[in-house]
Chain A
């Protein structure tokens, strides 16, 4: 397997992640649940500690040293994120709690002003609940329609279904994942963006999974909105990002009201601040934003070419080792797929798999993965899911396969 590691010195990278040397149930931890949330490198942990130990105060409103330093550090991450996504301007970057809040922000503000009752929002059949439920809520509150773009059996966007969904011209927003958290499929976002734009619709891309594995260029892909969470990108919890094209953000009303999002307040009326501050009410997640900055530096330093190559090799390895296990079914066979592998095993329930692997120190996820409708589409009630990060080793995938065989023997 040495070629897998060609670009990335994983063993040495792993030393940056203190948690990876833990034991679980007396066995070395094999953490294959990074798609739910990634572990944190030392530099992220240290950056957060550094702020709290030596340079902390509330941001934006202070005229003293600590506040200015903290504001500078906080706002510098906005520049960093803008660069990371290749946004045209730092003002297109809004900080939220997580990808879920980012999508809800768009549903509440853009959704209730730019979209009119009778307009339709289209989502794919493989969305995470975070990119489905907000549009259901918008439908029920605002009278928009919600339409589903089918996926093929291999787990890719069905372009014929897409055509049908857009045929009557009512769809004004396509909200679609950049990578499925269940099937691992990437979606062709450039093509989807062009498709939507040609038909006068906007596109929101849920990048919660993809952002970890690929270089994202929001301008090149034609994203109107792009969202992700810090905690999956080796950053802290409590911080997420919404990218929105300047022209769209400027036309949107605020989401939450409070300090820092207004120009002027009287009892009668308030005048909103410009984006992005219009959308950041109250004291933001200062420490976590700074932690996210450290995470982006960490990822940038390694570089996406190496990360992507490593991930591709791991995924191929996983597909081949798991594919050899009799009675094991891998969900989805997209051409373009990333480091997430969901599977079922004959006669063994996914929850039993997860519990029994855990007793061997191996962490995988089992259940519906917040994608209940997709489970129905794929004809399963739940799956087990192994997901990979830049610190994942091929031998951890081997350990998974051995663990699964052991479980099969128990259930035989």
Chain B
């Protein structure tokens, strides 16, 4: 567990966050606070800016306006690798594994989270995703879609991040492993206090994992719903219907 002072405070906070592509903002002023040690889901329709938010948090997109604070420190000006060194892990939408490197080498890159200050824990990752152990020497580009997704998740776990940003982790994964991932995430959160922010469409997974669920629309967080409420078709319609 982390120190007490931190457990109670907010780990990650966004205020008035705006960012986008080619001068056109997609995020229109995101306000969100994520508590240390929580699991927060972001949901919303296609194209509202969920992935844009994740990219802005890790720094792949520069913020046009507003601020991101992490552990009480403004990180808006930091480069992605500097943010990673503070312990933020990012699993992008669409996997983005290093295709011409082996599975093992892909995992190796993940060691740099925390600036490689923490010992890398391969065994844990291999235990979570046995296929990765089996295919250690296969080139990542030739793995199946779901296998790549597992690799992308495993890759950040190697570096023991203190915050993980997950963009649609269940995409392309078979149901039993979706459940497994949900279980793993909750377990990591519980045993190591890792904070998780994830974007997801799979309501079941949200229900299984999330403690908070934020709805995004047109580049803003418009409301919070309780994860249990997602059982309710009407709620879902309201926030996610097209």
Do chains A and B stick together as partners?
no
